[in-house]
Chains A and B, each alone.
Chain A
Amino acid sequence: MIRRMLVAMAFAVVPVAALAHHNMTALFDFNDRVTLNGTLTQVDWRNPHTYLTIAVQASGATESWQAEGPSPSWFRIRDIGKTDFEGSVGKALTIEVSRARDHSRSGLIRTITLPGGKVVSACPQNC
């Protein structure tokens, strides 16, 4: 951990765009994992974070969850584009998140399994 913390503290030496925008542990509980199986309903593809909205069936009702992901550039560097997600709107996917500390229906994306089965890991940034 100290290695990762020291990296975070040495923010002077990394490009601004490479910085994690938030102190993620302040907002999300990395010990509280939730796996969401549902339908992707919305994609917000802007800095500093992408947001995926997913409709999840729970106890006969539909819950809307918001999953916060890395920046668009983070995905671009890894050859994953906006179209990969926009093309998945209306389709089933699985997202594993670290749940928000305020217990709202939101979380920080750890992994995404796209409709075609492709697994996108947001590690190590979000793990």
Chain B
Amino acid sequence: MKTGDRLAIAVIAFVSALVPAAARGQELSAEAKSKEAAEARTKRNALQFENNATTIAFFDRSGKRTGTLGERALYGETVLSPDGSRVAVITRDLENESADLFVLDVASGAKTRLTKTPRTEFAMAPVWSPDGKRIAYVTIKKGQEGIYVRAANGEGSEELLYKNPGAFMNLNDWSSDGKLLTFAVSDMKGGALYVLPLDGGADRKPVEILKSELRMFGPRFSPDGRFLSYVVIDQANKAEVFVRSLDPAITGGPWQISDGSFFSSGFWRRDGKELYYVARDRSLMVSEVSTTPTFSFTKPRVLFRPPSAVPPRIAYASADGERFLVLPPPRGPQLQQLTVFDRQGQVVQKVGEPGMYSQPSFSPDGTRLLVLKGDLQTAQQDFWTIELATGKATRLSNDSNPKVFPLWSRDGKHVYYASLRDNDIAIYRRLSDGSGTEELAFKYTPGAAVLPTDVSPDGKYLVCDSGGVILVVPLAGDPTSRKEIEYLREEFSDGIGRLSPDGKFMAYRSDEAQPERGEVYVRPFDASTGKPGEGKWQVSKDGVNAMLHWRADGKEIFFRGQNLESNELLVMSVEVTTTSTFSAGTPKLLFKLPGPIGGNLGNISNDGQRFVFAVNVSAASNTDSR
């Protein structure tokens, strides 16, 4: 994810086994706890910066990288000025939880700050005036969204152009005659495109151009102002670039330009003769277009594909169509190698070739992996199983719906997962041999996020996370009428509920001890009610990220911590007993892996002897030749 300096490796100091965690917590005053949490937050922010900060890169029309701009930062939108001499850029500030607008001079690298937003508020969506002297942008001030404008050289003060009574406005373009702005408003209920006349004074009123039940974004004027390009996201989460007329006298249209877009706006060349967008495989596409007397276009062709096995996404096209902005991944192009480790952290098997893998997990019998695999050609992610002995891969899903958290049933016959459909997240299941069709397993409150984390050993309950609440769902009966039981709902964020093999205890992660830092806790589980019994035990002391797992005999719990200074992932183990009551020993480090790396719940084989991760590897050796 990044290049650059790495923080020094620090030694993890575990709290003495003789000092119970709860007692240690009691020793700390509220002030000391707050200070400790603030220090941890600072470390997390530093790590996030290290993992994600990048510079801006330029590519020319042939796909050759021609230069970079700016110091390493967490850049958002990057927009070239009309003459190409400057870049308006949104930069995130993690400590302040804000994002601000800057202008970078391409020749000198000089940086001019245009906004300074308060904590938790931000600037976004900059657009240049056609003469390059001003920049309009969106900010939220005290909960109020508005379009503001300011001189691009930072002089003078900002001016409010339009106060949005609603939300989710994204500014996209400034017409070449300087008279109009375009913006889109989209949410999960649909979208609308607007034009804002700038001559209306304080009472400026936007004009709705198009409204749809589908989400839309990125409206941009053709240079002659007679047409608008924009992007529509359909119910299957596929994005396409369209053009429509703004002139009632022009018949025909809208025209679909793309055959698969990677959520990319269309960019017009200044002379109105070319239109660019990014295809699903991240190629930069070009269509030769004409806007006189009406709109016409040629079938898009590949202008270039950034030369990498994992091409970075083109973020912006210059008005002359000669330069393209890219935010390259900080660590260079990366693929993932599915890698199996033993308890000492030694590699025992590499599974298949590197690819775009995430969230691998062992089948209950340890013979297969379940993994989410991305396809660079289609930008689609699907579930696959891979036989560890033969490498044979079986595709389980084939659709563009976002899906996460694959989870094996205890008998290995099914896989459960969360997926976004029709603007709602629900839990589905399908057979793990690839046959049959998908079934709904559980749908929660409309609009609520719900993620599966376990199936009870007797197969009667599905355990889920939802917004810091742990739910258990009886799996009997009609899936459409299944009703959840709140296992744990409190003022702390609880999740990753994992039942012990005997079904008597639930291990879970909670931020009770410190905000933003989870620890492992265990509570009894009453299978007759789906509710917790009496008692609670804190198992970990130094933070838990993910990968909570019981060994099949119930005598060991595994979890994954993180060294916030070295970025290392810490694979941890603690011996436990569940006979009569629960007790836990002292967590110990099994091995470390360099981060960042994805994790899941079932990275560990049930016998506790093998661990699988999607390890980042450089994709440089797979670089396409051009």
Q: Which residues of A contact B (CB under 8 A)?
A: 1-6, 8-12, 16-17, 19-27, 30-31, 33, 45-49, 71-73, 76-79, 82, 96, 98, 110-111, 119, 121-124, 126-127
Contact = CB atoms under 8 A, between A and B. Distances in A.
A23 B447 contact: yes
A1 B491 contact: no
B515 A121 contact: no
B469 A1 contact: no
Contacts of B468: 16-17, 21, 47-48, 71, 73
Given A26-B447, A121-B120, 17 more contacts: A3-B77, A11-B404, A16-B449, A16-B493, A17-B467, A17-B493, A21-B467, A23-B423, A25-B168, A30-B167, A47-B494, A72-B491, A77-B41, A98-B167, A121-B121, A124-B121, A127-B143
B465 interface: yes
Interface string B137-180: 00010110100000000000000000001111110000000000
A73 B494 CA distance: 10
B142 A121 contact: yes
Contacts of A71: 467-468, 493
Contacts of B524: none
B189 interface: yes
Interface of B: 34, 41, 76-77, 119-122, 124-125, 140, 142-143, 145, 165-170, 184-189, 215, 217-218, 231, 237, 263, 358-359, 372, 402, 404-405, 418, 420, 423-425, 445-449, 451, 465-469, 489-496, 511, 515-516
27 contacts: A1-B186, A1-B187, A2-B170, A3-B170, A5-B188, A5-B217, A9-B237, A19-B449, A20-B467, A21-B466, A23-B447, A25-B187, A26-B447, A30-B187, A31-B165, A47-B468, A47-B489, A48-B468, A49-B467, A71-B467, A72-B491, A73-B493, A73-B516, A123-B140, A123-B142, A124-B121, A124-B122
A2 B186 contact: yes
Contacts of A79: 34
Nearest to B404: A12
Give the secondary structure class of A's interface. mixed
Nearest to B446: A26
A33 B142 contact: no
Counting chain B CB atoms within 10 Å of each CB, which of A27, A49, A123, A126 scores highest? A123
Contacts of A77: 41, 515-516
A127 B449 contact: no
Nearest to A25: B187
Given A6-B263, A76-B515, A124-B122, A17 B495 contact: yes
Nearest to B164: A31
A3 B467 contact: no
Contact of A11 (B170, B237, B425, B491): B425
Contacts of A25: 168, 187-189
Contact of A122 (B122, B143, B263, B496): B143
B242 to A, nearest CB: 15
A47 B215 contact: no
B120 A78 contact: yes
A119 B141 CA distance: 12
Nearest to A9: B402
A46 to B, nearest CB: 6
Nearest to A76: B515
Given A3-B124, A22-B447, A46 B169 contact: no
A12 B600 CA distance: 10
Given A22-B447, A26-B188, A121-B120, A47 B491 contact: yes
Contact of A110 (B77, B143, B217, B358): B143
Nearest to B465: A16
A20 B450 CA distance: 11
A119 to B, nearest CB: 7
Contacts of B125: 3
Given A2-B170, A25-B187, A110-B143, A73 B515 contact: yes
Nearest to A31: B166
Counting chain B CB atoms within 10 Å of each CB, which of A6, A11, A79, A127 scores highest? A127
Contacts of B492: 47, 72-73
Contacts of B489: 46-47
Contact of B423 (A12, A26, A27, A31): A26
A78 B358 CA distance: 32
A1 B169 contact: yes
A79 B218 CA distance: 37
Nearest to B231: A2
A19 to B, nearest CB: 5
Nearest to A122: B143
B44 to A, nearest CB: 11
Contacts of A47: 467-469, 489-494
Contact of B165 (A10, A22, A33, A48): A33
Contacts of A11: 402, 404, 418, 420, 425, 449
B153 to A, nearest CB: 26
Given A26-B189, A77-B516, A46 B490 contact: yes
Contacts of B188: 5, 8, 23, 25-26
Contact of B170 (A1, A48, A72): A1
Contacts of B446: 23, 26
Nearest to B514: A76
Nearest to A120: B120
A47 to B, nearest CB: 4
A29 to B, nearest CB: 8
Nearest to B189: A25
A78 B237 CA distance: 34
Contacts of B185: 1
A110 B511 CA distance: 25
Closest 7 CB pairs of A and B: A48-B467, A21-B467, A23-B447, A17-B493, A47-B468, A31-B166, A30-B167
Given A11-B425, A121-B142, A127-B143, A46 B491 contact: yes
